[in-house]
Structures are given as C-alpha cells and as structure tokens.
Amino acid sequence: MVIISGLVFANREIKGVDRPLSDSSNNASLNERKRWEASPDGIKYKKWDASPEGKKVHASNDRIKHYLKNFENMEAVVKSVTFSRQGAKSSSPKWLIVEIDGATYMMQFTLKEFRQFSSLKVDDKIIVRSHSAGFSPNHPYLIVSGDYIEQNKKVIFKRDFNKNNGC
C-alpha cells in the first residue's frame, strides 16, 4: 500500500513539472529579469555579452554544444595546468585549460580533484566528456564542466554525480 501511494504521489509530482507556467509566473520572471538587467551586474554582463570577448565565448559554446548535449567524446589538447586567476587564494579552484577544435576552454576543479591531473603536461592529448558549460564576464573562456577525462584510454577523472545531489 505504501509503495502504491508513493508511486501515485510521485506520478502526480512529475506531471506537475510539465505544466506551463501561469501568466503571473511568467510576468514575475520577466520582471525579475528586467530588474537584474538594470542592476550593475546585469549592465556589466550585457556589455560583455555584446563585446568581441563575449561573442567569442558564445561561439566556442556553439562549437561544442552537440557534444555536451550527447555527452560525447571531445578530443582536447592541454594548454595549461598552472592557470590561476589573478589574486586567487591557494585554496581556490584550480583550472585546466584545453583546446578543442581550435577554441580554448577552461575546466574548474577542486584542489583534491586537480591532484589527479599531476601527470598532465602542456600539449598532452586527452578525451573530455561534459554535460554542461557556462560563461561569465569574469572568465576569458567558456567554462566546461570536466565530468570525464581520459588519457591514452585510461580514465584519469570521473565526476561522481551521486555526491552533492548530482551537481
């Protein structure tokens, strides 16, 4: 009985996800977006988005979005294993910079995760798979989540999605 009621409840919850947003929800989202776009951060983002740097990052996203959507292998060449943001603390995230299809990308890792890349050198070829990417006016390249990385058919990193609620 408990299992059946749980399934009925879960089914009702899933159906609720497919419902379109009401007009009031749409208006609230639109107002929230307009308010953010008028804020200093929103103005800064819109300027960056229209700039050559922003357009370059968006173009690099367009180049790999089909790989991301299908979680497919991307051949990459390591360009830097020592990149750090100016003024960053030693405990801050570590960056692996790679080139895929002629465009440069960043991958961010915790210090513990980054230790797995200690054998990588500039110009090493690796295979990268990712579920997502993001951009920010504070970063010079598209930020690709490095969910799976292999070198010479050996897995050197695989993100555990069971930790951190799938993040």
pLDDT of 163 strictly over 70: no
Mean of the per-residue pLDDT values of the chain: 84
Instruction: Compute CA distances 3 → 13, 18, 145, 146, whole Å.
Output: 15, 23, 37, 38
Pairing of strands 142-144, 103-109: parallel
Q: What is the pLDDT of residues 26-74, one digit of tens each?
A: 778 888 888 988 999 999 999 999 999 999 999 999 999 999 999 999 9
Q: What is the pLDDT of residue 86?
A: 73
Phi, psi of 130 (to 5 degrees): -145, 150
pLDDT, tens digit, for every residue of 114-142?
999 989 999 999 999 999 999 888 889 99
Domain boundaries, the chain: 51-161
CATH number of 51-161: 2.40.50.110
Contact (CB, 8 A) for 102 and 81: no
Q: What's the pLDDT tens digit per position in 4-33?
A: 434 444 444 444 445 555 666 777 888 888
